Amino acid sequence: MANDEAGRVSRFRPREEDRLAIEACQRGEREAFDVLVERYQRDVYRLCYRYVNNHHDASDLVQDVFLKAYRAIGRFRGDSAFPTWLYRIAVNTCLNFRASRHRPSEELKDDVVDAGPRVDDRMEDDELSQQVREAVSRLPEKQRATLILKVYNDLTHEEVAAILGSTVGTVKANLFHALGNLRKAMAGTAPAGRRLAPDAKKTGES
């Protein structure tokens, strides 16, 4: 079982179910791909959402990512874990999308979002959330990709390095720069009370 430098169990450990589904796809059994979609669609959606900041484009990107993965799965040889390979496709798809048509954030439609907390609580949360998302979206390319994968998709430094074709040291440095730039971008806008305890490590949604 693969661990990172802090001893955390990797989410990208080899899965027998993935291998079976991939081999079935490579034999032409299209239905087997559904297993992979079911398992990874949430992570891919969240990653895409971080890039585009709206539900509509994120949904289109998720579909595009899985379609590209299906078309290329015949060439997947297991040199890396399947999610590493899939995330690489997702990051490239998002980068291409942003390069082709950068659109501002949109309000989500009520019918695709859970009701969640009370409206007055949500207003403040939504405002801060939006500010942070927009600050993240303005980060330099590599810093943004690193922060999204490491913090929001909760990957290890090694996994991020594999996806971005980088080294662990570079990933850590890029993440540190990203946080520094985020701090500058948010200066004077984020409420002081929002600061978390210094030892807070778990920062992404599940």
Partner 1 sequence: MWTHLSDDVLMDMVEGAAGDKAERHVAACASCRARVDEARTALGWTAAATVPEPIPSYWDVMRRRVAQSLVEAPAVRSRRPLWAAAAAGAALIAVVVIGPGKAPVPPRATPAASLPAWSPLPPNDEDPALPILELVVAPTVAAATPAAFCSDVSECVGGLSDEESGELADALRAQLAAGRTL
Rounded to a whole number of angstroms, the minimum distance from the CB of residue 14 to partner 1 is 19
∠ CA 147-152-153 to the nearest 5 degrees? 105
Q: Which residue has the tokens 């409206």?
A: 119
Site for partner 1 in 146-185 (CB under 8 A): 147, 151-152, 168-170, 172-173, 175-177, 179-180, 182-183
Question: Footprint of partner 1 on residues 46-85 (CB under 8 A)?
Answer: 46, 49-50, 55, 59, 62-63, 66-67, 70-75, 77
User: Which of 48, 50, 55, 49 minimizes the C-alpha distance to 87?
Assistant: 48
- Under rule CB under 8 A, residue 37 binds partner 1: yes
Paired tokens of 45: 């959606």
Among 10, 88, 108, 166, binds partner 1 (CB under 8 A): 108
CA-nearest of 143, 61, 53, 50 to 96 is 61
Applying the rule CB under 8 A, the residues between 109 and 148 that interact with partner 1 are: 111-114, 116, 125, 128-130, 132-133, 136, 147
For partner 1, the closer CB: 77 or 102: 77
Nearest to 142 by CA among 127, 125, 161: 161
